[in-house]
Amino acid sequence: MPRVLVDNQPFFYRLSANDLTGRRPPLLLIHGAGGTHMHWPASLRRLPDWTVYALDLPGHGKSTGPGRASIAAYCDALYGFLQALGLARVVLAGHSMGGAIVQEFALRYPGRLAGIVLVGTGARLRVAPAILEGIRSDFPATARTIADWVHDKNVPEQLKRIYVQRTLENDPQVMYDDFYACDHFDRRAEVTGIATPALIVCGVNDVMTPPKFSEALAQSLPNARLALIPGAGHMVALEAPDAVTTAVAEFLREIA
């Protein structure tokens, strides 16, 4: 299980090195609030013909230590990860909060990016007060509420149970800080400056970051395409893994 130290904090990641040419920019998968690398489907984490890093952000999963309370601070950690592994040019894919981190990175370090994938996210990420207050007052009940909100109504209950189980493995403070970071993120005035090729993905039935958020991103970014996935909610990558993996693979082939 590979780890690298970033600011003296262990940074865990899964590596699937399927690019035998060594010429394609690697894909880095960045999960959302309270998530881990397991919030990405195996089909994408093990994408054929590509090198893929699936990260656990600081304070999440197998990355021990504190989390962060701002998108900018997570962006700093991501930059440190690239520096530590000597990754000069990459494709970043981020889900929800991870998508905010990717936008922040694209604004700061465009020369390090061959492309970006923004999944279930927006340039502004407001968080319902009930989530922030609920994490403080009743974390288990709030985890179950979030599970209902982030999934399409027709997903199997087992998928929701797994989500709740993984959410409750978080330190409540890390979970709170993640949502606090999202609630204070607003790059609507700046995203028009992101010229990096972008794929924007959203579940048609996403109620956390509705399709209008992704549509606004697609209209704002000068070099973006939009993929709306039917029958999926906010956890679109796990709800519709084949559709998301296919969309990402096609995007990667084009920018390569």
pLDDT tens sequence for the chain (256 residues) = 688 888 888 999 999 999 988 899 999 999 999 999 999 999 999 999 999 999 999 999 999 889 999 999 999 999 999 999 999 999 999 999 999 999 999 999 999 999 999 999 999 999 999 999 999 999 999 999 999 999 999 999 999 999 999 999 999 999 999 999 999 999 999 999 999 999 999 999 999 999 999 999 999 999 999 999 999 999 999 999 999 999 999 999 999 8
Domains of the chain and CATH, by start = 3-255 (3.40.50.1820)
- Supply 40's token pair: 């990405």
Q: Which helix (H) or strand (E) holds 25?
A: none
What pTM does this model have? 0.97
Q: Are strands 3-6 and 9-17 parallel, antiparallel or unpaired?
A: antiparallel
- Supply 235's token pair: 């956890």
Positions of E strands within 72-220: 90-95, 113-119, 198-203
Measured CA to CA, the distance from residue 199 to residue 218 in angstroms comes to 8
82 contact partners, CB below 8 Å, separation of at least 6: 28, 88, 90, 112
Q: To the nearest 10°, report the CA torsion of 104, 106, 111, 115.
A: 150
Q: Are 203 and 220 in contact (CB under 8 A)?
A: no
Q: Which helix (H) or strand (E) holds 17?
A: strand 9-17
What count of Cα atoms within 13 Å lies in the side-chain half-sphere of residue 128? 12
27 contact partners, CB below 8 Å, separation of at least 6: 47, 50, 51, 52, 53, 90, 91, 93, 248, 252
- Supply 175's token pair: 């979970």
What count of Cα atoms within 13 Å lies in the side-chain half-sphere of residue 125? 27
Q: How many helices (H) and strands (E) does the chain have?
A: 10, 8
